[in-house]
Every structure is written in C-alpha cells, then in structure tokens.
Amino acid sequence: MSHLPTDIEALIPDVSAWRGRRVIAAMSGGVDSSVMAALLKHAGVEIIGVFLNVWDYTREEVTRHGSCCAIEDAYDARRVADLLEIPFYSMDMQEAFREHVVQPFIDDYELGRTPNPCERCNRFLKFGALLQAADALGADFVATGHYVQRTDDADGFHIYKGFDPKKDQTYFLATTTREQMARILFPVGHLEKEQTRKLAEYFQLPTASKHESQDICFIPNGDRVEFLKREGAQLGFREGPIQDKQGNLLGTHPGVAHYTLGQRKGLGLADGPWHVVELDAKNAAVIVARNDEMGVSQVIVEDLSWLADVHDHPDLSVKLRYQSQPSSCTIEPLDQGLWQVKLQTAQKPTAPGQVAAFYIGDALVGGGIVQRVAS
C-alpha cells in the first residue's frame, strides 16, 4: 500500500486474510458502511453490496428521514456500489421487519417493557437475512459498518469494543449467536468517526459528509406515542395511578406507554425529583422513587447467547444500558432458560426489554434481554 498517502495508509486495516474471499457488504447508505465496502474493495476482497428495504416510507409525512434504511439511503447505497463497481442488490424485508421488529416493539410497550428495536433488527434481519443471502450467493462472510473490533487467532475469533469509546456498538450486537458472529467482519471498528469520514473523503464517496441516523427507522418523526396509537396500541394507554414504592398515590398518568424506566421529566409530581422505577402494565400503574431508592441490584435475563464459555469468570461485567459503564457481576442459570444476574454495586434502573451485554475487560462475551428487574 505504499502508493497511499501516509496519513491514509495508517487508517487502513489489515484484511489480507480475507483477500480473494467473497463477502456480503451490508450497505445502509451511511458513511460507516460505505467506508467498510471501500476498504474491502481496496484490499482485494470480492464484495457484493446488499441493502435491506425494511419499511414503506411513502406512508410517512416527512421530507428527510434522518434514520437508516430510508428511501434516500437506498439511493446512496447504490451510488456507492456503482462508484466501487461492485454488484448491488436491494432485499425486500418489510414483512420480516414487521414480524420481528415492529410488532414486538408495539407489544412490548403494551406490556410496560422498553424494547430495543436495533438489537432485534441486528439479530433477526441484518445477520439472519444477510447470512442467508451469503449462503445463497456463495459468500463466506457478512461485513458491516459497526464500530466493533474482531481478532482471529488459533483459539478462534474474539469480539472487542470499538476503538472509539463514543461510537462502540458492541452493546447492540450482544445477543448475536456464536455461529452468526463467526461470519461477521467489522472493517471500521479500529477507527474514530472523524477518521472514517477522512477515509470517505479520500475514496471520494458520496456519503462522506452525510449526517448520522438518530431516530428509530420506522418512527422517522421521533413521536413514539403517536406511532403506537396509529398502530392500534391500546393497553399501554389506559389511565392509571402514579405511586411511590410504598403504594402511596402521587398522581395519575395517561398510560404506561408514555414512560420508560429511569425517566424523571414529564411526571408532573411535586417534591421531586422522582424517577420511574417500574411500569406495572397489568394494573396500569407507574411506580416512582427518589434517588436513594432507585438502585437496581439484580436482573433476570432471557434469550441469552454466549460468544465464549465464561459465565463463571471472576472478571465478568454487565452493561444494562447503552450509555452506562459495565458493572461487575455474577450470573447463575435458573429454570426455563433464565439467568439471574447479581450486580456488585447497585445501578440506575434498566427496563425489561433492554439488552444485558456481558464483557470481560473490553471483550464482548455474550448478551441477553432483561426480563425483569429487582432492587
């Protein structure tokens, strides 16, 4: 790579092990996946670009969606593929997306849970569907633009947090199975975001200055409550009491779907601050507590998937919210596929439906979904 400028050459990952192999490039139309595809093409990897069409944006009254997988993103992904001179396919995944992501999202809010649609999209579509496409097209791997690092050695593959701590996305991939993860590559995981943009400019990619997606892709205007009502949700909008942990009535609310655990704004309560610590959908009750009462000491986790057999490791830690730091923990199996996670130090509340991501140091070793929370 001596022909590259020195500052650019320093940013190019060593993907020589994949040279000549066929790889599906998951192209979302953003700068990260565009640079991922450009790096693989530059390294001599045989890549096929695939865009997942998951939602009908003609129903949305917005001009620019600001989220992944929108109409403009499909166009941008194809422009990048044309520039790189690689094959490109758009897969219609709207029915599967409705089944595995949108309907569970609605159902969870009806039950007082706080779902993580990006996690479900990764687990059931991006990796499920793309690995099926890889099999159909004779490809060995799927590559994404996630900020995740992977190393391979004699013991197999290892997954680590992205080099840029502000962009690390291992949390959203924690429920990926070992079999899936073995076939996923992350060419931009060693980069900081500005370095990614620098490479995009060097490769003259049309997405170099494109803004990052922020909203949930199927709620482009950001109004979750309006979306749930439009989709026919009813149970989550029953009026009910706001109570403290002792059962004292503090006020009323218009429905548990309006709230999430840890929320403190918009409660309309005197003598605060109060924080939401439980959503009792069965009784349409919102439970709140003060700062000194809101710590979480254990959670019950379901749908757990391990990337390594380390559940009894003394340095195991768990991350219960994307913006939090991992906390030291122990974990024990229960009946019916459930696991009890005990935290050494009480943490801020997390919500049923959110991800519990397990680490040893910077290595991601597994993850599951929080079923319930205990103080």
Active site residues: 121, 217
Type of residue at 174: A
CB-based contact 299:373 (threshold 8 Å): yes
DSSP per-residue letters across 285-304: EEEEE-GGG--EEEEEEEEE
Distances (CA, A) of 55 to 95, 212, 284: 9, 18, 31
Distance between alpha carbon 81 and the CA centroid of its chain, in Å?
Answer: 25
Q: Are 356 and 364 in contact (CB under 8 A)?
A: no
3-state helix, strand, coil in the chain (%, to 5): 30, 30, 45
Burial class (CB in 10 A: 0-12, 13-18, 19+), 90: middle
Beta-carbon-side half-sphere exposure of residue 327 (alpha carbons within 13 Å): 24
CA distances to 52, 255, 301 from 103, in Å: 18, 19, 21
Element housing 32 (H / E)? helix 31-42
Helix, coil or strand: residue 63 = coil
Helix (H) or strand (E) holding 253: strand 249-253
